[in-house]
Amino acid sequence: MELTNMQFGILMLVFGMGLTLLTLYVLCWVMRILTSVFKHNKESAE
Amino acid sequence: MIFLSSDQIITILQGVVSGITALSWQYAVMIIIGLVLIHLGVRYNLEPLLLVPIGFGCILVNLPLAGLMEPHGLLRYFYDAGIITEVFPCLIFLGVGAMTDFSPLLQNPRVILLGGAGQFGIFLTLLLALAAGFEKLEAVCVGIIGACDGPTAIYVTTQFAPHLLGPVSVAAYSYMSLVPLIQPPLMRLCTTKKERSMLMPYTDQKPISTTVKIIFPLAVTIITVLIAPLGAPLMGMLMLGNFLRECGVVERLSRTAQNEIVNIATLLLGLTIGATMNGEIFLTAKTLIIFALGAIAISGDTVAGIYLAKLMNIFSKEKINPLIGSAGISAFPMAARVSHKVGHEENDENYLIMHAMGVNTGGQIGSVLAASIMLAVLQAMGLI
């Protein structure tokens, strides 16, 4: 793929930033699901 | 002397002072820079664990004829064994993972997005580095300073622009240590007094079960490495360290990762990074540009985090103080403390520390993830 420097930079910005936020959004949902499925049990913690 | 001629005496004296006569201005300047780094670490307590060995390494490598970075030199062995192979940054991540408690993040998962916004500086700086005339892969390495994460910067730069390793890693560590000076003015500039004074309650935060804490590092590893496989060494080590901490059955390994392993790796990594600061290679216009771009990178991270927090407030019922957005970088726990301090100065009932810790740990994951995704995109484009 032959890209000029500016095309390369913009592509990295869009894909890099976009995919980073998207993956973190997925992780956000994973955390929500985990915390709602495995609730903290006070008695077992004690 | 009776048994030596005057010529022989002169030759011996020349040999004795050869180090002094070989001292060029570049070496002298770098020795002064090494002393300044040590001074910052010792006198002002700025990242002393890193700046002290980096400064000492810098002095050692700029003492002429010592040959410590020549083939068979002591520091060359450390460099080849730990930096070229990328073992040192990965071992440091093992220790960082073992020292990190992800509970504040698990209690408020949406703030992980602020850890993504905190990586904006990487891509902004990449664009600016390209505009400044750096080659594509060089620009990627300069941009990675915006991860505010020394090991990640070293990991990426070693692979794609090893000749920039000295300036990039020193800039990354220097700006990490300067977070308390760089961020507060930007935070005040980007927020109103009302926003800075906003209280964030802790009442709705529930304790996190041990099962979640154990599954979390495994889930993060599997998901992120499936998306960006080239980041596996860093993310894998970070999450392995955290797993050792949370699984509760390998206390000895967890303690070793938090102490002996990370301490030895930090010492050798710092010393070796200092040893890449050879005056004849380091003192160039490129180094100055890299340092200038590094400052822009950290500033870009800070501003992007604050504005994403404001944006999230538009769409969310539970408001967040925009100051915690600035903690979405990898400098842990310094960035979280800065967010808390600025908020507390504005309103003494404001205790943002645990919320900011959640964002800060999200920034640790975000920085490794952003670097991994950059590598995945570069690979897809056939550039690596």
DSSP line for B52-72: HHHHHHHHHHTSTT--TTSTT
Class of residue B67 by CB neighbours under 10 A (exposed 0-12, middle 13-18, buried 19+)? middle
Contact A34 B139 (CB under 8 A): no
B189 contacts: CB under 8 Å, gap ≥ 6: none
- Out of B115, B130, B209, the one facing A38 most closely (by C-beta) is B209
Give the count of alpha carbons within 13 A of B229, CB side only. Answer: 3
Contact A16 B109 (CB under 8 A): no
Residue B328 has pLDDT above 80, yes or no: yes
* Cα–Cα dist A16/B337, whole Å: 28
Q: And the tokens for B292?
A: 């200038």
Q: Residues of B numbered 335-374 whose beta carbons fall under 8 angstroms of chain A's beta carbons: which are they?
A: 362, 365-366, 369-370, 373-374
Does the residue B28 lie in any domain? yes
Does the residue B4 lie in any domain? no
Does the residue B5 lie in any domain? no
Does the residue B199 lie in any domain? yes
- Out of A10, A19, A45, the one facing B373 most closely (by C-beta) is A19
Residue pair B165/B138 in contact (Cβ under 8 Å)? The answer is: no
Residue B49 has pLDDT above 70, yes or no: yes
DSSP codes joined into one string, B208-242: PPHHHHHHHHHHHHHHHHHH-GGGHHHHHHHHHHH
Does the residue B1 lie in any domain? no
Using one digit for the tens of pLDDT, what is the confidence trace for B211-256? Answer: 999 999 999 999 999 999 999 999 999 999 999 999 999 999 999 9
* Cα–Cα dist B377/B353, whole Å: 35
Determine the structural domain holding residue B339 and report its residue range.
11-380
Residue pair B365/A25 in contact (Cβ under 8 Å)? The answer is: no
B142 touches chain A (CB under 8 A): no
A43–chain B nearest CA distance, Å: 11
pLDDT value of position B222: 97
A11 touches chain B (CB under 8 A): yes
Q: What percent of chain B has pLDDT over 70?
A: 99
Question: How many structural domains does chain B have?
Answer: 1
Candidates B128, B369, B378, partner chain A, best to mutate (most A CBs within 10 A): B369
* Cα–Cα dist B157/B366, whole Å: 18
Using one digit for the tens of pLDDT, what is the confidence trace for B341-354? Answer: 999 999 999 999 99
What amino acid is encoded at B150 in this protein? G
DSSP codes joined into one string, B66-90: --TTSTT-HHHHHIIIIIIT-HHHH
Does the residue B6 lie in any domain? no
* Cα–Cα dist A35/A31, whole Å: 6
Q: How many CB pairs under 8 A join A and B?
A: 123
Contact A21 B113 (CB under 8 A): yes
B381 touches chain A (CB under 8 A): yes
Does the residue B99 lie in any domain? yes
Q: Which of B288, B286, B320, B317 is nearest to B306 (CA)?
A: B320
pTM: 0.90
* Banded model confidence at residue B201, pLDDT cuts 50, 70, 90: confident
DSSP state of B204: T
* Banded model confidence at residue A42, pLDDT cuts 50, 70, 90: low
Whole-number average pLDDT of chain B: 92
Residues of B in contact with A25 (CB under 8 A): 113
Residue pair B127/B119 in contact (Cβ under 8 Å)? The answer is: no
Q: ipTM of the assembly?
A: 0.91
B199 touches chain A (CB under 8 A): no
Using one digit for the tens of pLDDT, what is the confidence trace for B144-153? Answer: 999 888 899 9
